[in-house]
Structure 1
């Protein structure tokens, strides 16, 4: 059985994701689609709209055969580490290809860019440092340095100012660096760009636009054109049963308490908190009543919104620099859900997998897995509402979903 991997957050699952699955299957002639999916906290440093179990079921009902969890350490990391953890897992579960959406739509420019960056690595890194000394954020410094080494060439390089191209480049980089068997494939991202608002004349909207519409308008039914009916039903059921969606606005009271309860010295021990920003975070938390006010206080040219949110995620979950440096690679494959076809694939492959397959978290003891369980408990704590109380231990109670 030929397997193709995709790297997803599905926050929430929409028609663009459905297109990605169908095109990935078609372009690679895959029998099986395996999604490595972030858990309850995401790469942009924010809580997921709905939990990983709901998002898993959305994916399985829309054509994914197996969903495995990208551990917290990698799911909330900068792009290169996010990509490395994802590719490691897709390689470990035996995928033949991985397929990602990009603004570029062709794989050759990614390969050319990897080659030129690798060839000029020393100059590239020195240039990044110089731009950062001028006060640029890391992503902007990266792009300026990249422009320097590619501007005088006739070769077609990928545009690394585009968000999906950036992630795609890091996927390719990760596969090349581990000399992976898995082969990269890309498809053109269609209609909606990464940050676009919902456009009701279209059938595809970005996940960012959909989330914004949910929080601004509150009407999930109005989003019916942008997602499969099964995804819409899951969102409606979530709203009816839980009453609130995951966001920093919802989590702000607990996050604020966590920051103020900590000493400034303690804040500096959390992953990605650097260069004295802990002082600003502490003072802003004391005086700001809302998350929006807080972000307005701490946002600067040097730190992107995403970078600050990742710091806050790690503060909220208690994830330290020490813990970050202790986990370099995935140590298990955790199955969140599968179809019967996916089950057949795993039964056929499980004796030859390079990492242990985990379906019940109580069955193994692993410090990387402990971080996921801890993060899930804190995620559900942040969703406490008048409608429902979220008990801890959901990772122990929920077996893999089978459809």
Structure 2
């Protein structure tokens, strides 16, 4: 059986994701579609809108055959490490290809860009270093250096676009792994990442859907943008928890943690750098809402996304010391499967490159224990006491 992979968050699963999943399977000619999906906290430093089991249910109903959890250490990391984690897991599962959505819509510009930067790696890194010294954020420094290298030459990937950037990192990760896995891209359709929802279309970004919901648009009113299974899963999740994940919901606990730790304690958490712990502490003392807090802290150098990743690690207690111990994913956590996915695992069992874990009780290393802890903190943020959900939730089966 031939498998292709995708790296996703499904926050929540919408019609654009359905297009990506369907197109990935068609374009790759694969029999099985495998999704590596972030768990309870996401790459842009946010609690997931719905937990990983609700999002797994959405994915399986839409035709995904295997859902594998991307460990917290990679799901909440900067783009290069996020990509490394996802591609490592897809490679371990024997995927022949991976498929990402992009603004570019064609793979050749990415391959040209990769070759350019590989050939001129030393110069590129020096240019990034010089740009960072001017006070710009690291992502802006990357883009500035890349733009200078490319110049007016056509045929390269536009790495100012968010999905193009992530796609480039997937390719870079596969090359660094010396993996035979082949990249495929499809044209991203409809809304861009930050776009609000628009009437007259069935495609909206996950950000737009969440924003509309928190501005008092009902799940029923948003159903035009999502498959029916997603709507039903969200309704069940809301009935179980009484709310959806957001920093507004989690902020009282985050604020308490910041004030308890004080600057000296904040400094130990992953991604906290360059004295920003003082600003974080001062903002927590004075700002009653998360939005006011984040506006106080973010800046040209420290983007909202970067600050939110710091806050995620402060909230979960993930330290620099822990981060530095993780070199690569150590297991494959199975969240759900279809009949085809189960058949694929049975056929591939001797060739799978990492331990396949179906129960949380088997997550006995530090990376796995961190995932269990992240679920506890996520449930606490929702105001629920279901701390043992990791242990009581077997993989979902969609037959």
The TM tier, using the shorter chain, reads: over 0.9
Aligned to 1:107: 107
Aligned residue for 1:129? 129
CA contact (8 A) 2:68 2:332 kept: yes
Paired residues in the alignment total 398
Within 1, Cα distance between the matches of 2:239 and 2:71? 29
Partner of 1:396: 391
Equivalence for 1:87: 87
1:20 aligned partner: 20
Match of 1:184 in 2: 183
Offset of residue 152 of structure 1: 4.6
Write out per-residue CA displacement over residues 260-298 of structure 1, whole angstroms, 9 at most, x where no aligned residue. Answer: 000311111100000000011011101111101111111
1:236 Cα shift?
1.8
Question: Which residue matches 1:5?
Answer: 5
Find the aligned partners of 1:238 and 1:318 in 2 and give their Cα distance: 26
Residues 38-60 of structure 1: CA deviation (Å, up to 9, x unaligned): 00000000000000000000000
Conservation of the 8 A alpha-carbon contact between 2:363 and 2:369 = no
Q: 1-side partners of 2:388 and 2:114: how far apart?
A: 43
For residues 200 and 239 of structure 2, the distance between their equivalents in structure 1, rounded to whole angstroms, comes to 28
Shift of 1:237: 2.0
- In the alignment, which residue of structure 2 is the partner of 1:327? 326
**SS of residue paired to 1:217:** coil
Instruction: Give the direction of change, closer, same or farther, for the CA distance of 1:362–1:125 in structure 2 (3 Å limit).
Output: same
Q: Partners in 2 of 1:60 and 1:344 — Cα distance?
A: 15
Give me the whole-angstrom Cα distance separating, in 2, the residues matched to 1:352 and 1:132: 43
Give secondary structure in 1 for the equivalent of 2:153.
coil
Q: Is this contact kept in 1: 2:45–2:308, CA < 8 A?
A: yes
Write the distance in 1 (CA, Å) between the matches of 2:361 and 2:219: 36
2:246 is matched with: 247
1:190-269 aligned within 5 A? 190-269=189-268
State the SS of the aligned residue for 2:86: helix
Deviation sequence 1:109-137 (CA, Å, 0-9, x none): 00111111111111211111221111111
Which secondary structure does the structure 2 equivalent of 1:105 belong to?
coil
Counterpart CA distance in 2 for 1:46 and 1:261 is: 21
Distance, in Å, in 2 between the alignment partners of 1:352 and 1:46 is 35
Deviations 1:93-114 (A, max 9, x none): 1111100000001001001111
How well do the aligned residues superpose, as a CA RMSD in angstroms?
Answer: 0.9
SS at match of 2:221: helix
Structure 2 counterpart of 1:57: 57
Whole-angstrom CA distance in 1 between matches of 2:221 and 2:262: 45
Q: Which runs of 4+ in 1 moved over 3 A?
A: none
SS in 2 for 1:351: coil
Aligned residues of 2:105 and 2:187 also touching (Cα < 8 A)? yes
Worse-matched range after superposition: 56-65 or 192-201: 192-201
In 2, the alpha carbon distance for the partners of 1:282 and 1:232 equals 39
Q: What SS does structure 2 have at the residue aligned with 1:21?
A: helix
TM-score, length basis structure 2:
0.98
Q: Distance in 2 between matches of 1:334 and 1:224?
A: 30
Asked whether the 8 Å contact 2:124–2:145 carries over to 1, the reply is yes
- Secondary structure of the residue aligned to 1:176 is helix
Provide the C-alpha distance between the structure 2 equivalents of 1:225 and 1:111, rounded to a whole number of angstroms: 36
TM-score (norm 1): 0.97
Segments of 5+ residues of structure 1 without an aligned counterpart are none
Aligned-partner Cα distance in 2 for 1:252–1:201: 35
State how far apart, in whole Å, the 1-side matches of 2:333 and 2:250 are.
27
SS at match of 2:196: coil
Deviation at 1:364, TM superposition (A): 4.4
Q: Deviations over 1:371-402 (max 9, x none)?
A: 00000100000001xxxx33212111111111
